[in-house]
Amino acid sequence: MKENDLRDEIEGLQLVDKVNVHERSVYESEEDWDIYEEYEENGRPIAPEYYDWREIYPELQILLDNFDDILQEAEQVSHWKEWPENHYREGGNQDWKVFPFLHCFPANDTSKLTWVPFTCELCPKTTTLLKQIPALRTALFSRLGPNTSLSTHTGWEDLANFVLRVHLGLKVPGHEKCGLWVEGKVEYHKTRHINVFDDSKRHKAFNETDEERLVLIIDLERPADIPPGTAKGGHTEELDLFISNAFC
């Protein structure tokens, strides 16, 4: 082997090693890592856990510009519904409630976009703002009770693989006590702050304070240059029943 070839090979191996150390550190165990190695072996790139909203969804500025209207409508909601799927609760307080405006299953078929008339009428300013975001697929207010943490889960493949999930912090108590965990990496919620993450990966939300945490959740079409999500398994019958019965 020529000297230059040998040097290139050594540098290449060092680079691979650095990448592996970096990637491996975000997963919990060797078993978890194996799942992601499979994607690499199949030539599939791994999408990041989090994104900067200013880079991929600058249109979300409209939500910050009208933050006070959204917060005011969220605070007056009285028709909160318990999330219907119990496997999201890992014990302790089980206080997770939602107020949905829009859903779309599967999220790559915009003919399935369905607005919920009852909730939209109760929050007309928020609805008007949401309808100005073209890539929107899901929208709901989400209220996580005091000292509540959701179980680790992945989104449904018929939604999460086609979108990225956005949280706008409306009422976030404490400092670095409420946030998101995605594949071992944590980002905190803050009031008037937007988090964007890939909910096709294993994730959970937590509230470690004695007060409720309120966010606006929206899903936006996944940009074409970001790999599709890796979730397996569609949404459940419990969710279909919830959607069809909760706000009729």
Interacting residues with Fe ion (CB under 5 A) = 199
Closest residue to bound Fe ion by CB: 199
Cβ distance to Fe ion smaller for residue 183 or 199: 199
CB of 48 to Fe ion, least distance (A): 17
Report the relative pairing of strands 136-144 and 194-197 from DSSP bridges: unpaired
Cβ distance to Fe ion smaller for residue 57 or 197: 197
CB of 54 to Fe ion, least distance (A): 23
Of 202, 96, 187, residue with least CA distance to 149? 96
CB of 4 to Fe ion, least distance (A): 50
CB of 231 to Fe ion, least distance (A): 10
Cβ distance to Fe ion smaller for residue 49 or 199: 199
CB of 236 to Fe ion, least distance (A): 13
What one-character-per-residue DSSP string does 139-184 give? EEEEEE-TTEEBPPB---TTTGGGEEEEEEEEE--SSS-EEEEETT
Burial grade of 87 (CB within 10 A; 0-12, 13-18, 19 or more)? exposed
Of 164, 229, 166, residue with least CA distance to 195? 166
Cβ distance to Fe ion smaller for residue 199 or 219: 199
Cβ distance to Fe ion smaller for residue 147 or 152: 152
Type of residue found at 137: R
